[in-house]
Chains A and B, each alone.
Chain A
C-alpha cells in the first residue's frame, strides 16, 4: 500500500486477555518501529527492527510484551494478559534503512482499551 497500515484501528479487550496488533510497513522499508502514546506521556519507544531482527528491545515495558517481524515486512506486537495500564495508542512507523537521516512514516495507530 501507499502508507503504513495498522490493524485493528480500535481494540477493546478484557483485562487478562491477549491481543495482537498488526503493522504493514511501506513496501521496501527495512526499518520498523513500535511506539506507545499514552495521554500526556508522549511517544514511548517500544522496539525497533532492522529487517527481521530487533537490535533494541529495551523499550518493551514487561515480559508480557513481545514483537516479531517476518519476511522483512509485516510486524505483530503481542500483549499477553493485558492490564488496564496497557490502554494507549500503539503506533507503528517505517523508514528506509539508509544513513539514519531518513524520515519515519507513521500509521494511524491502534487504540487499545483494556476494560
Chain B
C-alpha cells in the first residue's frame, strides 16, 4: 500500500522565517498528494493538493508544495512564517482507489 514519511515530528521557526516541512511518499502508481492542517482544538482541513498538471501547487494561507517525482517528495513551504501558522501538518497520499494514508504529522511552532 502507499505510504508517507514526514521527516521531523517537530519544526520550530522564527516569525518571518522560511517554513519547510518535508514529505516523502511511496506509491506504485502516480500518486495524489495532499497536505492537511490541524489547528489547536480544531479538525483537519485541506491546505492544498496535487492531482495532475502543474507540479507546484499553491494552497491557502500562502503555503505551497512542489511534487518532485524523481525525489518522491512533496515538501510544504511558506516564505514567511506567521504566528497563526502554528499547527500540526499532515501529508497524505492516495491512489486511484481513494484509499488515503497519512504521515505521522509535523508540529510547527513559530517563535516571536
Contacts and interface: CB of A to CB of B under 8 A. Distances in A.
Interface stretch (B13-21, B76-84, B95-103): B95-103
Contacts of B9: 40
A4 to B, nearest CB: 9
B56 interface: no
Nearest to B50: A101
B95 A103 contact: no
Interface string A73-115: 0000000000000000001010101111111101111000000
A101 B97 CA distance: 9
Contacts of A66: none
Query: Of B43, B51, B92, B96, which is in contact with the most chain A CB atoms at under 10 Å from its CB?
Result: B43
Given A40-B9, A56-B1, A106-B43, A101 B32 contact: yes
Given A42-B105, A43-B102, A101 B94 contact: yes
Contacts, number: 64
B51 A45 contact: no
A101 B30 CA distance: 11
B52 interface: yes
A110 to B, nearest CB: 12
Nearest to B30: A100
A55 interface: yes
A42 B103 contact: yes
A107 B103 CA distance: 18
Nearest to B99: A48
A100 B49 contact: no
Nearest to B10: A40
A84 B99 CA distance: 29
B44 A91 contact: yes
Contact of B97 (A40, A45, A50): A50
8 contacts: A33-B100, A41-B104, A48-B100, A56-B1, A100-B96, A100-B98, A103-B49, A107-B43
